[in-house]
Structure 1
């Protein structure tokens, strides 16, 4: 079976999936990179992976490669279309060949935006006009299927998917022996959608209630103004601004931290650091607004707070600080739920099961994890989830 994955350029969050596809005995795999990695990414110490793997076809590097990429789009058994031009879809779907769109949510800025003509046209051109074709969607956000449903795309053609960063084979029990007591970690760029201010306010509230804790913050954009604010609030002994660092050192902090915070809003498509923190056996406290929350976290392997409810965030974090056995249990379950359900090998095997059972899916039997049905999830789902507790 020939599978071709079209995207802008190869990145670390896609790489494990591509490697898994490429080594599968039933698959002849090609990743088509449609554009060169931007210089600003290289300046941020991202790697140019397009030249490092034999399964990559750089469509941007020559006319010959571009024409071959167009040919593959028409002839491959299966195409996965990510952040790539629609030209790779058009002729293929005229022939009604099996095609999957890999995407995050379409209406990050609000579901009302579907009524804006330019927004609806973009969604129509990328999805709706293909709804009666052999065209399916791999949802890298729990909110993606509902966004598409609101625009007229059939939900029964949507499957759960995500990002699959590299995972380490670890002993989570052993990791917990070396975690620092009362340690909390936040990782991300200090940009509006990440809402670092929620973590800072949490620290203020914890100190006010006389909790002993350490909050480490990793990522770019940590201003002198923020440092001064921490000193002014007498938080500088509890909150440490560590700046950017290489991935190896980020993972070290994850392994030594008991609690991992993820405070992003609805603009966060997925949040691959959530996978990495789960792989590090952290007890997660994650915003309900981010795309991965509803897929990855349940009542047995972490906590989801109602964004941007500061009291709910405080309650979820202090529940772990006050109950270390619960924190450890959820940390271990987080590790195992990735290893046993949301692993890259499961993703590839489940994807093949879907393909082999198309179009009717009569023998399709994937009940959870990647490849299971992506039921619609509304922005306010957490409100109703709480009522069932």
Structure 2
């Protein structure tokens, strides 16, 4: 079984490691590049089944187009899984390999097409997914999107799964006073940081005792902070970008987690927050929110871009400390369902459906 992915992201590597532990799976993973400036994870040694393909990429706005070479032969593979359609390498593999070996595309919900030449290019590249034997959608929202676009293909729901053990250790008693609200991600408009800052400012100006902890790349944060009153800034802490190994420490400092993104195909930080036993509040533009949050139980969803709605949800938790405690327990219960081993089992089931081959994977079970 061969995976082609963009780069060695920690959450995908957790899944690949679990698949590699299955004795009946001969796993190979190829990455199109070793690292990316937008995701500056510390480089770690590759596993024997992981390889970096030679090549380069071209940037066009926020899009990156990869071109790689020295493709190994996949004619002996039972299944090839491709992650990311907006690059030339995946396009070549889809249009050349899909006729020889069953290919699965694994991706998040597609964003709306751009205008002009770029929009036409996106439509052309997306059309190549018709060559896939099946599509593994990352989350329920993505599954619905692909079912509309490709009604004749099997569509499976296989979200991201990551190792949460470090997040679930040494958890504090919650809630504390003051309640600490955590955001983890890039400080950019797409992540809705401005929405969170406005809602938090409303809480502070209304007399609530709360803190806001921001973790992630600075990006647009200085401009966003300029308009906040001193009283609000006094209750805010910016901890900067943190490596994956340091993140559990910051999640332990929090009592609530908020991801107010205008758009997030998935949002692995939601997995991490649930693993940390945090109530999670997401906009309905976050893919993970629709699969991992049960509104009113382990968190809540609010309408995308609605500052007032977010402020009201936050106030409901600040006014009811017991709500934080019960939601925390339900998040920890949910965390047991989203381990990499569970994700690996889902992939094994898909492989069986497409190839007809029984895979006895005792380690996963």
TM-score bucket of the superposed structures, by smaller chain: 0.7 to 0.9
Answer whether contact 2:176 2:255 (CA < 8 A) is retained. Answer: yes
Shift of the 317–167 alpha-carbon distance from structure 1 to 2, 3 Å rule, reads same
Answer whether contact 1:5 1:81 (CA < 8 A) is retained. Answer: yes
Partner of 1:273: 269
Partner of 1:296: 292
Deviation readout 1:165-215 (Å, 9 max, x if unpaired): 33116767x624166331111111111201111111111211232111111
CA distance in 1: counterparts of 2:172 and 2:33, whole angstroms:
42
Shift of the 249–92 alpha-carbon distance from structure 1 to 2, 3 Å rule, reads closer
Shift of the 221–58 alpha-carbon distance from structure 1 to 2, 3 Å rule, reads closer
SS of aligned partner of 1:177: coil
Unaligned runs of 5+ in 2: 56-67, 359-365
TM-score, length basis structure 2 = 0.83
CA distance in 1: counterparts of 2:9 and 2:304, whole angstroms:
29
CA distance in 2: counterparts of 1:238 and 1:33, whole angstroms:
42
Over the aligned positions, Cα root-mean-square deviation in angstroms equals 2.9
Answer whether contact 2:281 2:299 (CA < 8 A) is retained. Answer: yes
CA distance in 2: counterparts of 1:194 and 1:170, whole angstroms:
22
Is it true that 1:246 corresponds to 2:251 in the alignment?
A: no
Partner of 2:6: 8
Answer whether contact 1:138 1:158 (CA < 8 A) is retained. Answer: yes
Shift of the 192–242 alpha-carbon distance from structure 1 to 2, 3 Å rule, reads same
Partner of 2:46: 52
Matches within 5 A, 1:1-389: 3-38=1-36, 40=37, 45-49=40-44, 51-60=45-54, 67=70, 69-72=71-74, 74-83=75-84, 84-95=89-100, 97-108=101-112, 117-125=120-128, 127-128=129-130, 130=131, 135-151=133-149, 153-154=150-151, 157-168=154-165, 175-177=171-173, 180-181=176-177, 182-219=179-216, 220-221=218-219, 223-230=221-228, 232-266=229-263, 268-299=264-295, 300-339=297-336, 341-358=337-354
Shift of the 305–274 alpha-carbon distance from structure 1 to 2, 3 Å rule, reads same
SS of aligned partner of 1:154: coil
Deviation readout 1:84-127 (Å, 9 max, x if unpaired): 522223343213x33211111222468x99xx5433222112x1
CA distance in 1: counterparts of 2:262 and 2:223, whole angstroms:
23
Q: How many pairs does the alignment contain?
A: 338
SS of aligned partner of 1:329: helix
Q: Shift of the alpha carbon at 1:259?
A: 0.4
CA distance in 1: counterparts of 2:234 and 2:221, whole angstroms:
17
Answer whether contact 1:185 1:260 (CA < 8 A) is retained. Answer: yes
Shift of the 109–121 alpha-carbon distance from structure 1 to 2, 3 Å rule, reads closer
SS of aligned partner of 1:15: helix
Q: Shift of the alpha carbon at 1:242?
A: 2.4
